[in-house]
Amino acid sequence: MPEGHSVHRIARQFARNFVGHRVQLSSPQGRFVEGAALLDGHAMTRARAVGKQMFLEFDNGLWLRVHLGMYGAWDFAGDILMDATIASANGRMGQTNQRGTDLDGQADAVLDSAGENSLRSIGAPRRTRVRMAEQEKEIDQRGTFPPEPVGQVRVRLLTDTVCADLRGPTACQVLDAAEVQAVIDKAGPDPLLDDSPAAEDRFTAVVRRKPTPIGLLLMDQSVVSGIGNVYRAELLFRAGVNPHAPGKSLAEDTVRGLWRDWSRLLTIGVETGQMMTMDDLAGADWARAMKNRADRHWVYKREGLPCRVCGTHILLEEMGARKLYWCPTCQA
């Protein structure tokens, strides 16, 4: 599934295209009929991402909470205003985006600021169809509007001009404001929601108190939000940290460094739409990595291959019921 960066991008897409508009909700699949009815016909007022979860607020005070899980995806169709980086990630927009450009750090898009601030618009809406999951891709350019639902569509959000279909989510439910707050309170800090020293302190303190291996702590969404299996492996390699090291055994600077690096990688991920973890690349190397996943990571999915730094064979083991990739030499 999409790790944290994708969910932030999807929330922006909703802020861009739905916030401020009346929305018709339905459940073509039939498994969310009651929930859809609670929100149907109301205007969307806010789109938020917190770690891997997304929250859409409507003007009756209720929220739609969505977690994509492993297979979940959103398909957008219609006259879509796209964040330029989405098209860029597909290589369709030429040079509109280069790394190094700044996000303004505004993770939430609220009603009065939707459509401006951090979203770099292409300009006019474009009639298209885009799938947003871990990868984003344009599906086709034409067709009737709204399109026929494809596959098991749990919920469809429809305005006069734009349609969003949700398929295969782990979670899709209607919550009131207090329930949303409870979910958010349980989540660990998300660098895009809070890049304050307090957030870094909180993460650092929690990690350095626990005997749990850091490789498990980074995946624990109550410790830190948004990190998944790819970012876990890559963050640990970049920090030179052994995944088995207990949180409490790590130096304070090391843990703070992990937080800051996560903030950096998440920012790059939101900007490019890719889990680009070899961010020191330049020119042709960067372009190749943007195109091919195999050239994008230090250790992820590289078991048995020589470490890009020291040549040692990359190891693969199970940790937290997920595949963990690491270099026993660089991460001694």
Partner DNA sequence: AAAACATGGCTAC
Partner DNA sequence: TAGCCCTGTTTTG
Write down the least CB distance from residue 151 to DNA, Å.
Answer: 4
Task: Using alpha carbons, list the distances in angstroms from residue 296 to 13, 70, 110, 287.
Answer: 25, 21, 33, 10
Q: Tokens 């699949």 — which residue? A: 29
> Minimum distance between the CB of residue 219 and DNA, rounded to whole angstroms?
6
Nearer to DNA (CB atom), residue 50 or residue 241: 50
Q: Residue 114 or residue 157: which is nearer to DNA going by CB?
A: 157
Is 167:156 a contact under the CB 8 Å cutoff?
no
Contacts of 28 (CB under 8 A, 6+ apart): 149, 153, 156, 165
CB 130 within 8 A of CB 137: yes
**Residue with smaller CB distance to DNA, 19 or 80:** 80
Rounded Cα–Cα distance for residues 27 and 36 (Å) = 7
Least spacing, CB of residue 121 vs DNA, in Å: 25
CB of 160 to DNA, least distance (A): 26
Q: What CA–CA distance (Å, rounded) separates 243 from 229?
A: 12
Task: Please check whether residue 69 is in contact with residue 2, taking contact to mean a CB–CB distance below 8 angstroms.
Answer: no
Which amino acid belongs to residue 267? T
Q: Which is nearer to DNA, 60 or 291 (CB)?
A: 291
Least CB distance to DNA at residue 22 (A): 26
263 vs 277, which CB is nearer to DNA?
Answer: 277
Q: Which CB sits closer to DNA, 8 or 167?
A: 167
Binding site for DNA (CB under 7 A): 1-3, 6, 29, 31, 51-52, 67, 69-71, 73, 131, 133-135, 137, 151-152, 154, 167-168, 170-171, 219, 221, 227-230, 275, 293, 301, 322-323
Query: Which residue, 209, 219, 181, is CA-closest to 50?
Result: 181
Minimum distance from CB of 229 to DNA (Å)?
Answer: 3
